[in-house]
Amino acid sequence: MPTKALNIGMIGYGFMGRAHTNAYRKVNAFFDLDYQPVLKAACARDKAKVEDFAARWGYESAETDWKTLVKRDDIDLIDICVPNDLHMEIAVAAAKAGKIVLTEKPLARNTKEGEKMVAAVEKAGVANMVWYNYRRMPAVMLIKQVVDEGLLGRIYHYRANFLQDWTISPDVPQGGPGTWRLDLEAAGSGVTGDLIAHCVDTAMWINGGIANLSAMTETFVKKRKHAITGKVQPVGIDDAAAVLARFDNGSLGLFESTRYARGHKALYTLEINGEHGSFMWNLHDLNHVQWFDHRIEGRLRGWTSIMVTDGDHPYLGRWWVPGLSIGYEHSFVHQIADFLEGLATGQPASPTFREALETTRVCDAIIKSGKTGKWVSLG
């Protein structure tokens, strides 16, 4: 049974505010942990809405100013679930106040901001993590484990896509709640920081660092109305991006993200090809992973669809019985479980701010290469 309460201060009540809160509420029922998150306070600018959110989700109190929240003595952990342009300021202040700091991905709008955040948490010596939740999909964790065990041998290729189709209509605005991801100022970049960042985070975690890359970026809809000001103004973000990359281990990388792939909603796919085997996975079928084992006798060799729901699969011993699926939200539960375990044992769960900064560096290189048309070295 948990012996230590961990008081959570949640900033933001949107999609991610809900996803994280759900994780805090579930984690101790399913995982054996020393720490127990306590929903102490939710914070957002709109008083009525944040009070409603707090009541619905069980937060003990509501705040309307994150600066106040950050100073509260009864808060142990600040969780940042607001648009990217606020990540740095909040994180630095929280670190200074000695709080544990978690932030939704990406770490920041760019490397410069990210570096300040890393410096702040490291100077303060506070635990920190970025919610790159897809690492904690059981299927993805299984890939990680098997690659680490060396079963794939030398790696030749890694490819990943994150394809969506929700901004095809020119009537989708930029800025404002729900569409801040189309606003360069709020988001820092378009699909690069939002989607390719996931691909890159998983890729480097599994397959190591990226040495250099060449990218192509595009903005298909050149002007959009701003949701708040109502003005039609140029779109500054990248609607689509594609990347050629070379990993430090000599393998080739290929990444693509777009919000203009009609028919795909949240199609994060990844594949790794090694000498002795390959894995493929996608988010639309998250409980399965495809595995090719070249060591199997020839006639019976093929792509095996592993349903990652058995008790010996990562995290699955905590849920139901074989054959019964989990969903998107469970990746957040796993991530906070790992974080709390790391907190207890002193082994921080990845990715820390420092680790996530590498992904932001790659994202910056993608944007730069897209503009210059040149290969960019990450060395």
Which of 96, 116, 226, 246 is the binder for its own copies (CB under 8 A)? 246
* Beta carbon nearer to its own copies, 128 or 258: 258
Residues 22-51 that bind its own copies (CB under 8 A): 22, 25-26, 28-29
Which of 264, 334, 354, 361 is the binder for its own copies (CB under 8 A)? 264
Kindly state whether residue 293 participates in binding its own copies, applying the rule CB under 8 A: yes
Cis omega before residue 322 (within 30°)? no
| Token pair for 30 | 């399913």
Query: Going by DSSP bridges, is the β-strand pair 128-131/100-104 parallel, antiparallel, or unpaired?
Result: parallel
As measured in angstroms, the least distance from the Cβ of 334 to its own copies is 13
Kindly state whether residue 249 participates in binding its own copies, applying the rule CB under 8 A: no
As measured in angstroms, the least distance from the Cβ of 332 to its own copies is 11
User: Crossing angle for the helix pair 197-207 and 353-372, nearest 10 degrees?
Assistant: 120
| Token pair for 70 | 């950050």
* Stretch of 98-106, 198-206, 288-296, 346-354 lying at the interface with its own copies (CB under 8 A): 288-296
* Stretch of 122-130, 198-206, 307-315, 349-357 lying at the interface with its own copies (CB under 8 A): 307-315
Residues 142-171 that bind its own copies (CB under 8 A): 142, 146, 152, 156-157, 159, 164-166, 168
Per DSSP, 174 falls in state B
Closest listed residue to residue 10, CA positions, set 72, 85, 96 = 72
Backbone angles phi and psi of 269, in degrees to 5: -120, 145
Which of 172, 267, 344, 378 is the binder for its own copies (CB under 8 A)? 267
Closest listed residue to residue 309, CA positions, set 283, 291, 327 = 327
Residues 192-221 that bind its own copies (CB under 8 A): 214-216, 218, 220
Instruction: Classify 208 in phi/psi space as left (phi over 0), alpha (psi -120 to 50) or beta.
Output: left
As measured in angstroms, the least distance from the Cβ of 24 to its own copies is 11
Closest listed residue to residue 278, CA positions, set 94, 154, 193, 161 = 154
Kindly state whether residue 286 participates in binding its own copies, applying the rule CB under 8 A: yes
Q: Which amino acid is at 218?
A: E
* Beta carbon nearer to its own copies, 47 or 56: 56
Distance CA 360, CA 363 (A): 5
Kindly state whether residue 312 participates in binding its own copies, applying the rule CB under 8 A: yes
Which of 244, 344, 348, 378 is the binder for its own copies (CB under 8 A)? 244
Which of 45, 123, 265, 371 is the binder for its own copies (CB under 8 A)? 265
| Token pair for 184 | 């360069």
Q: How long, in residues, is the chain? A: 379
Which of 227, 254, 344, 378 is the binder for its own copies (CB under 8 A)? 254
